Amino acid sequence: MIIKVLIFGSNGLVGKAVNKAFADNGSFEVFSSIRSDTNLFSYEETKNKIDETQPDLIVNAAARVGGIYANNTKRTEFILENLKINMNILEAAIEIPETKIINLGSSCIYPLDAENPIKESSFMDGKLEPTNSPYAMAKLSAIELGRSISNQYGHKIINLMPTNLYGPNDFFAEKDSHVIPGLIYRMHLAKISEESVFKIWGSGEPLREFLYVEDLAKAILFIVENNIETDLINIGSSEEVSIKELGFLLKEIIDYKGKIEFDTSKPDGNPRKLLDSSIINSHGWESTINLEEGLIRTYSWYKENILD
């Protein structure tokens, strides 16, 4: 039987990877939804898209995203836009309890002082990291709304909390990007301009876990194919690196010849954020693309697609 899949946000970093993973599998018929065909800020348009496609599975990969600078300076946009997207998709699906929903969140939902590696049980167990708390609150609200709908109407809604994602089709910019695409963008420019010093925000000491986006797409496909229905699941690589180590690894990959310095006047954010992915690992899924390989692939994609 062919399973019909509707992917919201299918033109973004996650959406394109998920779209490809399902489209390459003969068991699925994929319906892609992008901003130009469906305004997810509109309940009516969102519901119409669901009614048109009658999906067996909805993947919510739509979100307003960005790095520490964007999260901290556009706080209103981040909470409002993400709340609207998530509420409209989930409310529009209330009348179709037979449709499974994969709702993508973020590891930033977990408390600032959560014990590392962070287990799913840390959900709503403390204060959020201040620089991205509006985005985190929107994602927390989506989980709570999904659980309420599941409890009341019988839906199967699975909330996936991936660690920091990167890869092809990411958003590469000076200030509004996540850390990896932001560093690639700025360091490549510094290389071309032959700048002698490259500055990275913060002390470089915070520890982060990164996941290549194709691994997340494969995890979603794995969860669907294996009928895993745990309602909150971490998805991580279990590979931890400091921002300083990341900077010097990118320096080597990009072949930047200058000196790297750290701007300690800028915020570090959460000092450490490593997910406990033992639930998904116990089912047999593990990430396959290590950080160095993923960064090489991402920089190659950037040069071939963004710089043309």
Report the C-alpha gap between 17 and 31 in whole angstroms.
14
**Annotation says 135 is catalytic:** yes
* CA atoms of 103 and 291, how far apart (whole Å): 25
3-state DSSP helix/strand/coil % of the chain, to nearest 5: 45, 20, 40
Contact 46, 89 (CB under 8 A): yes
DSSP collapsed to 3 states, 213-253: HHHHHHHHHHHHHCCCCCCEEEECCCCEEEHHHHHHHHHHH
DSSP string, 64-114: ----HHHHHH-HHHHHHHHHHHHHHHHHHTTT-TTSEEEEE--GGGS-TTP
Residue 67 CB partners (closer than 8 Å, separation 6+): 175, 176, 177, 178, 179, 182
Out of 69, 110, 135, 302, pick the active-site residue: 135
Beta bridge partners of 157: 101
Place of tokens 């003969």: 26
* Residue numbers annotated as active site: 135
